Amino acid sequence: MMMDDSFFWFRRNRITIPGVRGEHLFLHITDTHINAADAESSDEERAESEKQETMWASFKEKFARGQLPFSVGNDEPYGDPQRITTLEAFEKQLALAEELKPEALLLSGDNLERMHGAGERYLKRKLAAYSGKFLCVPGNHEAPACDGCWAPGVRTLDFDGFRIAAVDDSQKTVSRADLDTLHALCCEGTPLIILCHVPICTPCCKEELHRVMDYFYIDGETADENGKEFVELCEKNDTVKAVLCGHVHGYHATQLVPGKPQIIGSQGMAGAVDLFTVD
């Protein structure tokens, strides 16, 4: 069983939404930072992938052990099972999803270390072969669109009594068109879980998120006008029930306001998995 693989370490979260029937299992992973090279890669592209892979081999351990200024407080599992390539790690994450068969696989950005042809081809091929539903958003290392993986605009999956909306906040703001779509979805009244990349900082979780650099979150003070509007919508609109995100490379279970969770997943390339249930 993949769940017995010592590469993985699991966090389990539950989001309770009145009116939802039954239990709905989701698998949330983030920050896989895939580096790839293939037969179509140039020598320069291949060298860059090898360089980035070597860099992350060091940095992902430092993130996990809290050895970087912005990861102080992290104390996450890290040993030989986590010392594998980003491609090997992603293969394991997909195999886990195939075994668990969640209602959807949710990928909250920095899926690729950078936009590069071999990585895009690899990710597109793997997600096309995945047997279940998935939603994927871009991270700050990625472009707003990647054919077959994610696309511009708010995208949603509907379930029994709630929906999940994928939103691009990778540049610490949200487009006017996406904000208008989110407001329209909120007006429909169906409970909404937001999937994005960059966490949202509100007064309720300010102390927790100030342990990391302000580079790692959006707040209502320093963001641009669209960013501030996105923060306010997530914080104050009752239709929004939870936020799932990444970017920080460390797990944080925060709240935007009391009773409204924000689950910040840790680095998927180092085995972090968020299994959460909606009921």
Task: State the CB neighbour count (10 A cutoff) for residue 73.
Answer: 11
pLDDT of res. 177 = 98
Round to whole Å and give the CA distance between 32 and 6: 17
- The domain total for the chain is 1
Closest among 127, 133, 130, 131 to 111, alpha carbons compared = 127
pLDDT of res. 70 = 82
Q: What is the mean pLDDT of each run of 10 residues along the chain (279 residues)?
A: 91 95 96 97 96 96 91 89 97 98 98 97 98 98 97 97 98 98 98 98 93 91 96 98 97 96 97 96
- Residue 55 belongs to domain spanning: 2-278
Task: State the CB neighbour count (10 A cutoff) for residue 131.
Answer: 9
CATH code where residue 81 lies: 3.30.750.180
Per DSSP, the three-state class of 150 is strand
Which run of H or of E encompasses 260?
A: strand 260-264
User: pTM for this one?
Assistant: 0.97
